[in-house]
Amino acid sequence: MTSYKDAGVNIDEGNAFIDLIKPFVNKTCRQNVLSQLGGFSGIYDVKFLKELNHPVLVSSTDGVGTKIEIARALNKFDTIGIDLVAMIVNDILVQGAEPMFFLDYYASCKLNKVEAAKVIEGVVTGCKIANCALIGGETAEMPGVYDDNKFDLAGCGVGFAEKDELLPKKKQIKKYDILVGMPSSGIHSNGYSLVRMLINNGFPLTEELLIPTHIYSCECLQTKELVKAFIHITGGGFIDNIPRVLPSSIKPIYFDWDMPYIFNEIQNYGRLTKQEMMRTFNCGFGMVAIIDPNNLVKFRSFVPESVIIGELREEE
C-alpha cells in the first residue's frame, strides 16, 4: 500500500516539529495575540488601533536569499532566522511604523526537525528584538522542488502607524539635508551571491559571514519624529535605494568613510569598484536617515554611533 510518506512527505514529523518549537515561539506572544501555534491562521486583536486618529497597516514580505547557502556550508542555523525578521521588520520601520506580528515559511525537500528548530529559534530571537509576535507560519516538505538537505525561508510582517506620521515625508526633503548612517552588524543579507562566487574562488568561508542583520527597531522608533526619511540599505545598496525617497530635483552626495574590515576584504579580493560596492553592499551602514542638520545633536542622543555619510544637493 502506498502512502504520502512514501512520496517524501512525513506528516507525523511535521506535527512533531510544531510541538518542538511551541515553547520558544510562545515567548514572543503579546497580549494582542488571540491564537495558538498550530491553528489554521494567526489572530491578532487590533482594538488598540482605535486610539489612533487614522490608523494604517504597513506590511512587508521577504526572504534571506543565498545567505542560506552560507549557513548550510557552515552547518550553523541559529542566526539565519534573525536575518529573516530583520529584512522584513526594517522595511516596516522605514515607513515610520511599529511592527506588530510576524509569520514565517520554511520549505525543504525533507524536514530536518533539529535543523529547522534552530532556524525558528532565530526567528523567535528576531521577533523578541523587534518586539513583535510570531503568530504563525508554514512548514512544507516538497521533494522534487528542493534538492536533498536544502531549504528556503521566507516571511511576512505587519505593523501599524498613524497615517499623518508615515515616512518618507518627501515634500519636506530639501537640499543640504544630511544623510546619517546607522552602523550595520556586517554584510546583513544582501550581496551573498557575489560573496559565494568569491568563496568558490578561494575567499575564506568564516562565521563572520553569518553575523545576523541588525534590527533597527529602537533606533527608528525613537527618532522617527526627527526624520524625513529612513532608507533600509538592501539590494541595490545606496545607489538604488536612497533615490527612491528623494524628490526628482534632489540628488545625494556621498562623503568618504572607512568601511569595516569585511567589506575591504571583499572589495580587494573581488577587485570591485567603489560604485559596485555601493550598489551591492551596505558598506557599514544598514539604515540611513535623512534629517535637517539642526536635528543632528538630538538624533545622536538616541543613536550616538551614527555617522554623517553625505548630504543632499539640487540636481544640476
pLDDT at 6 (0 to 100): 47
- Could you read off the pLDDT of 221-230 as tens digits, one per residue? 999 999 999 9
Q: Chain centroid to CA 84: how far?
A: 6
Predicted pLDDT at 92 = 98
Q: How many residues does the chain have?
A: 316
Distance between CA atoms of 216 and 183, rounded to whole angstroms? 10
Structurally, at CATH architecture level, domain 170-314 sits in Alpha-Beta Complex (3.90)
For residue range 247-274, list pLDDT tens digits in order. Answer: 999 999 999 999 999 999 999 999 999 9
Nearest-5° angle of CA 165, CA 168, CA 173? 115
pLDDT tens across 129-172, in order? 999 999 988 888 888 888 888 899 999 999 999 999 999 999 99
d(CA 21, CA 70): 23
CATH homologous superfamily, domain 5-165: PurM-like, N-terminal domain (3.30.1330.10)
pLDDT score for 212 = 97
The mean predicted confidence, pLDDT, of the chain is 90
Q: Give domain limits for the chain.
A: 5-165, 170-314
Strands of 307-314's sheet, edge to edge? 229-232, 285-291, 178-183, 307-314, 250-254
User: Which pTM value belongs to this model?
Assistant: 0.92
**Rounded percentage of the chain residues whose pLDDT exceeds 70:** 89
CA pair distance 144, 109, nearest whole angstrom: 7
Read off the DSSP letter of residue 209. Answer: G
